[in-house]
Amino acid sequence: MDLLNTLVDKGLRRELPTRDEALAVLATSDDDLLDVVAAAGKVRRHWFGRRVKLNYLVNLKSGLCPEDCSYCSQRLGSEAGILKYTWLKPEEATQVAAAGLAGGAKRVCLVASGRGPTDRDVDRVSQTIRAIKEQHGDVEVCACLGLLSDGQAERLRAAGADAYNHNLNTSEATYGDITTTHTYADRVDTVHKAHAAGLSACSGLIAGMGESDEDLVDVVFALRELDADSVPVNFLIPFEGTPLAKEWHLTPQRCLRILAMVRFVCPDVEVRIAGGRELHLRTLQPLALHIANSIFLGDYLTSEGQAGKADLEMIADAGFEVEGADQVTLPEHRRGGGCHGSAPSACHEGGGVCGTAAPVPSADEPRTDLVAVRRRGAGTDLPPNA
């Protein structure tokens, strides 16, 4: 297929595809799916070999958010039955992080719900960052705390943070349909603040919220322009009790095409399969590793993920290897300010749960059986999944 040959050539040269080419990837048929994955895989292997980076989420504060993001189980007015708790103490967060690091993660992502941190919150998170770094000197730490005020990114950097995550989530044209309590421009500003402070910037998207192909291409092109080191690709978890609970538009094939489009537009950045991979990719998760070079290990913010052991087995069975703490994620030309050794986490939800056998729904039925609210790890007395 001439389109795929062109996109591979451009990806190896870090040349931006045209919008029409990006849209054409999303429009390819299921008959061409393996060709699309193979082409994206050539670009992925050129820049990242067969390494898979593992990241681990620590939810420092869960629920009770004043923002109205329609996709989020922690939003204002959410009726989702999630865990709700206030800030973890530094020693509690460090203990939770240790489980992920023991499972092979090289980056810990510290996430807190809310519009953005107060100066006191930044002090609190800074203490947690220092505590984690004291016990695990080679770990990368990313913060995801919402909108940043002037000077806060610099303080996080001084405390030892390597990266900051703040997702664009969707296109500028449709952002107001998803969130009304802050703007798309607010999010762009926070990514700029993180970059300016020398932090490795991470920003991604959420697919499956009813957006068009044009919206997906718009947000990915915007992420390329922001020059984020990492682009996490989340697939919507339609939590009961949120406005988007009925949005079930994704298939495994659609998810793979979206990941491939992101890889072609952002060939040399860390592309992470983030929230919703278990729910929407399902048995095709290993194919996604041929496109993306990064995943989360274990559970997510408010939902349970695939068992950590299963993640490691999947990586090995697919012929990939876990990226070691002594390996640098990004290609040499991208290693500049901040840590730039890889990239951080995404504020997102994920799915996947073990249980008794049940009838398999048809391809057209929503897989609500896979949405499992997190009941272990941070904020509970049960050990985390890693």
pLDDT in the model for residue 362: 53
Q: In the predicted model, what is the mean pLDDT of residues 259-284?
A: 97
Grade residue 187 by pLDDT with cuts at 50, 70 and 90: very high
pLDDT in the model for residue 351: 34
Q: In the predicted model, what is the mean pLDDT of residues 314-337?
A: 91
pLDDT at 252 over 50: yes
Per residue in 195-205, pLDDT (tens digit) is 999 999 999 99
In 3-state terms, what secondary structure has residue 234?
strand
In 3-state terms, what secondary structure has residue 225?
helix
Report the C-alpha gap between 105 and 307 in whole angstroms: 14
H or E element: which one contains 272?
strand 270-273
pLDDT in the model for residue 222: 98
pLDDT in the model for residue 376: 83
2-370 carries CATH number 3.20.20.70: yes
Q: In the predicted model, what is the mean pLDDT of residues 261-270?
A: 98
The answer to whether 96 touches 386, Cβ cutoff 8 Å, is no
pLDDT in the model for residue 335: 80
Q: Is 272 annotated as a binding residue?
A: yes
Q: Is 266 annotated as a binding residue?
A: no
Q: Is 65 annotated as a binding residue?
A: yes
Q: In the predicted model, what is the mean pLDDT of residues 261-290?
A: 97
Per residue in 356-379, pLDDT (tens digit) is 333 444 556 666 666 778 878 888
Report the C-alpha gap between 321 and 139 in whole angstroms: 18
Q: Is 142 annotated as a binding residue?
A: yes
Per residue in 2-49, pLDDT (tens digit) is 999 999 999 999 999 999 999 999 999 999 999 999 999 999 999 999
pLDDT in the model for residue 343: 36
Q: Is 157 annotated as a binding residue?
A: no
- Cα torsion 336, 342, 344, 345 to 10°: value is 150
Per residue in 152-182, pLDDT (tens digit) is 999 999 999 999 999 999 999 999 999 999 9
- The C-alpha angle with vertex 253 and arms to 374 and 293, in degrees rounded to 5, equals 65
Q: In the predicted model, what is the mean pLDDT of residues 77-91?
A: 90
- Give the residue numbers marked as catalytic: 65, 69, 72, 109, 142, 202, 272
Grade residue 193 by pLDDT with cuts at 50, 70 and 90: very high
pLDDT in the model for residue 377: 85
Q: Is 69 annotated as a binding residue?
A: yes
The answer to whether 269 touches 231, Cβ cutoff 8 Å, is yes
Per residue in 302-318, pLDDT (tens digit) is 888 999 999 999 999 99
pLDDT in the model for residue 251: 97
pLDDT in the model for residue 348: 37
pLDDT in the model for residue 347: 39
pLDDT at 353 over 50: no
Kindly report the average pLDDT of the chain as a whole number.
Answer: 91
Locate the domains of the chain by residue range. Answer: 2-370
The pTM (predicted TM-score) of the whole model is 0.88
Percent of the chain with pLDDT over 70: 91
pLDDT at 339 over 60: no
pLDDT at 267 over 50: yes
Q: Is 72 annotated as a binding residue?
A: yes
pLDDT in the model for residue 100: 93
**Within 10 Å of residue 210's Cβ, how many Cβ atoms?**
15
The CA-atom distances, in angstroms, between 333 and each of 8, 71, 191, 258, 268 are: 19, 35, 20, 26, 9
